Amino acid sequence: MRIKILGCYGGQLVGFRLTSFLVNDSILLDAGSPTETLSLEEQHGIRHICLSHTHLDHIKDIAFLADNRSLKRLGGNKANRTINVHSLAPNHETLCSDFLNDHIWPDFTAIPSREDAIIKLHNIEPEVPFEIDGVRITPIAVNHPVPCTGFLIDFEGKQLIYSADTGSTDRIWEIANAQPNLKAVILDCSFPNAYQKLADISGHQTPQGIKLELQKFDAVGRVPIYLYHMKPETLNVIAAEVEELNIPHLRMLTQVDEFLF
């Protein structure tokens, strides 16, 4: 299983890209920044987006991926005609009503036709696994102000947990603890400790919250835990507070990270 970090931040400044992880070159976990980082040919290899929720920093580049895919079609390319978006039904309703609605952006679920659309939406349900490109994916409900799922990624007997955006939550740790060959956890850590009230309101984590969450995880110190969704404005403070936790194999992601499990 190959995981390439395209963007791992919860805010956008020069040099800091929004959340998007590329799995085995064809599957995106969220779509905050793929068109900023991938060539047109690399973008064209993307067949699936597993969308955790519909906040803008996770859906932004669905718009531009669809636009670029339509141009590839017009140029005569017949492969990978469709981008398949897998998410909760309420998220698809939000995408269609508020984003791909011909006002904010063209409705690529109907372009060039409903039958042959650039974007096709596939409803998923928490804890009902589905398989795409040989990867088994299980959505897991997490704690966020809008409908949101993390994902258990399972490929060739190796597992990865992606928490997506979440405050304190329980079920994802129960599932993580049950995995026989868990290789890593990617976990929300958006704000420094001084912003705990904001983190609680917005459904995110701080380093002190991470310390409490990891009391639910049996493999602390053995399985690497990678933090993402840090706000760039407070990155240095978060980094210092994470270091103070002194938890083995815990660190913040960077945009040059790439993992092969």
User: What would the pLDDT profile of 120-176 be if each residue is shown by its tens digit?
Assistant: 999 999 999 999 999 999 999 999 999 999 999 999 999 999 999 999 999 999 999
pLDDT tens-digit readout, 37-53: 999 999 999 999 999 99
pLDDT confidence of residue 164: 98
Average of per-residue pLDDT across 102-130? 97
pLDDT confidence of residue 107: 98
pLDDT tens-digit readout, 185-236: 999 999 999 999 999 999 999 999 999 999 999 999 999 999 999 999 999 9
pLDDT confidence of residue 180: 97
pLDDT confidence of residue 76: 78
**pTM score, two decimals?**
0.97
Cis bond leading into 248, ω under 30°? no
pLDDT band, residue 78 (cuts 50/70/90): confident
pLDDT confidence of residue 213: 97
Q: Is the pLDDT of residue 73 over 90?
A: no
pLDDT confidence of residue 171: 98
| CATH numbers and ranges of domains, the chain | 2-260 (3.60.15.10)
Q: How many CA atoms lie within 13 A of 138 on its CB side?
A: 15
